[in-house]
Amino acid sequence: MSGHGQSPGHEAEAPATILGEIADGIEKVVRPFYRVVGWLGALVIFGVLVAMVYSAIGRYVGHPLDGAVDIQRLGLVCMIAFAMGIEHLGHEKMTVDVVTKALPKKVQAYIAPVIFLLVNVILVIAIWRLIELGIDKQDRGQVTKGSMHLPIYPFVYILAYGFITMIPIYFARLLRSIDRLVTR
């Protein structure tokens, strides 16, 4: 199944049906946006590194950064959320080669759309549950336990956003797998 994403060094097959063209269009539209969001994730991790270095040096001079642990934990959540889309756009992540490798190619072609449909369903459920969790944390007014007492709910919503960025990718892969199935 790992051949269903675009991997570096391999040219993408020309779409055979309108589904393949739609999948190509989705990736063409989201790629520039994901690059910007990926850079935002890189800026966040840079900020986390600066906070870590400042806190470490500050301990030696008697002025550590207050809330450094909160900044690091929540910054890493943001970095992961912002990097999800661009990371999954480049190459296949959801593979089940261990199971499907022994199966004939024709059977693999029928399994691929089912797998990508399941991935999309799981993503929607995860987003829904994260939004519910964010609402719960917002209603309860939960904050971090460190010295900064930052509210937790915005970071839960940011993580839900990270999962949202993966839906167009796996929807395009679903369409592309159906396109390949139609051409067989």
Rounded distance between C-alpha atoms, residue 52 and residue 68, angstroms:
7
Task: Report how far Cα 32 is from the mean position of its chain's Cα atoms.
Answer: 15
Q: Which whole number is the average pLDDT over 70-98? A: 76
**183 phi and psi, to 5 degrees?**
-80, -15
Residue 149: partners with Cβ closer than 8 Å, 6 or more residues away? 143
Backbone angles phi, psi at 64, to 5 degrees: -70, 160
The per-residue pLDDT for range 6-63, each reduced to its tens digit, is 444 444 556 667 888 888 888 888 888 888 888 898 899 898 898 888 888 888 887 7
**Where along the chain do its domains lie?**
17-183
